[in-house]
Amino acid sequence: MAINLEIPKKHRALIDQAHQVAMNMLRPISRKYDIAEHEYPKELDLLAAMIDGLEESGASEGAGAAGVRREGIADDKTVKNGANMASVTSIAEMCWGDVGLMLSFPRQGLGNSAIASVANDEQLARFKGKWASMAITEPSFGSDSAAVSTTAVLDGDEYVINGEKIFVTSGERSDCVVVWATLDKSLGRAAIKSFVVEKGTPGMKVERLEEKLGIRASDTAVITFTDCRVPKENLMGSPEVNVEQGFAGAMATFDNTRPLVAAMAIGCAQASLDLTRDLLKDAGVEIDYDKPANLQSAAAARFLQLEADWEGARLLTLQAAWMADNRKPNSLEASMAKAKAGRVGSDVTLSCVELCSSVGYSEAELLEKWARDSKILDIFEGTQQIQQLIVARRVLGLSSAELK
């Protein structure tokens, strides 16, 4: 099956539409909600309604949160560019507008991607239209998702959840939270499952909202669960603990969300490159794509290097999405895309601040904001170091116990 990383013709209308929204609706309010941290961007309600309408009509595949679902047998004769490809390309355009606002879109949370990836058909129908955030990280651990200590104990027809989750994106605004909890800590990774906990469930409490370096338009919450009773039907995936399968069921979610985060970094970095190119031109610095970098000014040479790194990250992200659409295992490629794009995004945005000097550092332009926003994209959904560890394990064929 041949891969083609050109933007599919059928997705160009969606991408163009996303770019127009980013330019005309997100950019104008970007600074406003960066300053007004924790204030809900009401302007997003109209955009959310537009996305809902596109999904309902079937007019725009991938307009909403997509999931990696590989049921059935792949057709090696047909190359698909489906919902995953549409999602990463349109998300990149939206983040060209504003990362924090994109993360604040109703019903487009990381929890929605988790539900789309692992929920059964009944759950997909039941949670349709819900805004879902995702709760993994705890005070006792950051990147090691296998260290989950929040517990879920079956009691009759309900699971009783106890624990604390931190850094929950859209944790206050969402309708429900996908919570990672262990059925039995002694059984290790295999006992970790994900549960959909709806807001208003007794025992679930948003304790506080974090003040952050960037993506200030997005709320980030601390949530506690105290004897929180959840219907057993809200467990996603199999309730059985399969030690042989290990952590695979829970980690399948990341095969979907990591390319999405990589796409966010690509979009934010592209915004910085586009503006910096214009500012350098205004300052008399010409970038010549037909001349070797070493024969140009230092600023132009540095800019060309940044663009080349950005293109590598973009292609890795498209590859991971393409593999998901074509039902191919993409865990390695998802981590490669996240690692490359996360690092490149931070490097590009901060380097653009440097290239533009005082203009880049001041609030006269959005360059300094993009540099702040991009840093989280190298951290959440698995840090740079964790992605490199995962890639090394996959390439060397070693387990997590063999390579720590």
Quote the pLDDT of residue 73: 41
Quote the pLDDT of residue 65: 56
- The structural domains of the chain, with segments of one domain joined by +, span 9-115, 131-236, 247-396
Quote the pLDDT of residue 108: 86
3-class secondary structure for the chain?
CCCCCCCCHHHHHHHHHHHHHHHHHHHHHHHHHHHCCCCCCCCHHHHHHHHHHHHHHCCCCCCCCCCCCCCCCCCCCCCCCCHHHHHHHHHHHHHHHCHHHHHCCCCCCHHHHHHHHHCCHHHHHHCCCCCEEEECCECCECCCHHHCCCEEEEECCEEEEEEEEEEEECCCCCCEEEEEEECCHHHHHHHEEEEEEECCCCCEEEEEECCCCCCCCCCEEEEEEEEEEEEHHHEECCCCCCCCCCCHHHHHHHHHHHHHHHHHHHHHHHHHHHHHHHHHHHCCCCCCCCCCHHHCCHHHHHHHHHHHHHHHHHHHHHHHHHHHHCCCCCHHHHHHHHHHHHHHHHHHHHHHHHHCHHHHHCCCCCHHHHHHHHHHCCCCCCCHHHHHHHHHHHHHCCCCCCCC
Quote the pLDDT of residue 143: 74
Active site residues: 381
Quote the pLDDT of residue 63: 47
Topology of domain 131-236 in CATH is Butyryl-CoA Dehydrogenase, subunit A; domain 2 (2.40.110)
Which pLDDT tens digits describe the chain residue by residue (404 residues)? 678 778 888 889 989 999 999 999 999 999 999 999 999 999 999 888 877 776 666 555 544 555 555 454 445 566 788 888 999 999 999 999 999 999 999 988 889 988 988 899 999 999 999 999 999 999 998 777 778 999 999 999 999 999 999 999 999 999 999 999 999 989 888 899 999 999 999 999 999 999 999 999 999 999 999 999 999 999 998 888 876 565 555 566 788 889 999 999 999 999 999 999 999 999 999 999 999 999 999 999 999 999 999 999 999 999 999 999 898 999 999 999 999 999 999 999 999 999 999 999 999 999 999 999 999 999 998 899 999 999 999 999 998 889 98
Quote the pLDDT of residue 4: 77
The CATH architecture of the domain made up of 9-115 is: Orthogonal Bundle (1.10)
The tokens for 158 are 């309900």
Does residue 114 contact residue 234 with C-beta atoms inside 8 Å?
no
Quote the pLDDT of residue 72: 47
pTM of the model: 0.92
Quote the pLDDT of residue 83: 85
The CATH class of 247-396 is mainly alpha
